[in-house]
Amino acid sequence: MHDHLVHVVGWQEFVCFPHWNHIHMKAKVDTGARSSAIHAEEYEVLRYPSTKDRPINEHIHMKLKVGTKAKPKFVWVKAPIVDYRNVKNSGGKIEERPFIETEIEIGGVQHPIILSVTNRDKMKFPVLLGRAFLANKFLVDSHSRNLLSKPHQKHKSKIDDDEDN
């Protein structure tokens, strides 16, 4: 069946982004979604000359909301854009989104991840983990939360005091 270790995750987990000063965010694990997504308050696309290795030589500079609802903080982060794809949003409409590549940490283990960048402000979770990311790494226990993470972990990142990064 599986030649490697597969971890069990709950339908909700807290995740960390090591390349972005280890910011922590709440994520919904959604086997009904093909791709993963992250909420950006706003973003800009930085375009650079194409290279042989990077025909799409663009990066995204985006503003993420971290912290609690009562005390939100905003941080700016950068990531390379790897593609633009049409995605069916939660309302059933097709929209083109930039897709970025970064690292995500769940349960102390880092994994590469490709995320679409979108406005998830009306959603309860700023990060959505879809099937493409979950496949061959995780099984989902739909009755449990935070099997690989603890809510409200007290990890203070450098970003907590510097909102312009």
* Domain of residue 104, CATH code: 2.40.70.10
Is 99 inside a domain boundary? yes
Is 115 inside a domain boundary? yes
**What does the block give as tokens for 33?**
């979604």
Per-position DSSP letters for the chain, written without gaps between them: --SS--EEEEEEEEEEEGGGTTEEEEEEE-TT-SSEEEE-SEEEEEE----SS-SS-EEEEEEEEEE-SSSEEEEEEEEEEEEEEEEE-TTS-EEEEEEEEEEEEETTEEEEEEEEEE--TTSS-SEEE-HHHHTTTEEEEEEEE-SSS-TT-----GGGG-TT-
Tracing tokens 């009562």 back to the chain, one arrives at 70
Q: List the pLDDT tens digit at each of the 165 positions of the chain.
A: 445 678 999 999 999 999 999 999 999 999 999 999 999 999 999 999 988 888 879 999 999 999 877 888 999 999 999 999 999 887 888 999 999 999 999 999 999 999 999 998 888 999 999 999 999 999 999 999 999 987 654 444 444 444 333
Is 161 inside a domain boundary? no
Is 164 inside a domain boundary? no
Is 116 inside a domain boundary? yes
Q: Are 154 and 21 in contact (CB under 8 A)?
A: no
Could you tell me the pTM of the whole model? 0.85
Is 128 inside a domain boundary? yes
Predicted local distance difference test score (pLDDT) of residue 70: 86
Give the number of domains in the chain.
1
The DSSP bridge partners found for residue 47 are 58
Is 165 inside a domain boundary? no
Is 1 inside a domain boundary? no
Residue-range definition of the domain harbouring residue 127: 7-151
**What does the block give as tokens for 111?**
């994994």
Quote the CA–CA distance of 27 and 18 in Å, as a whole number.
15
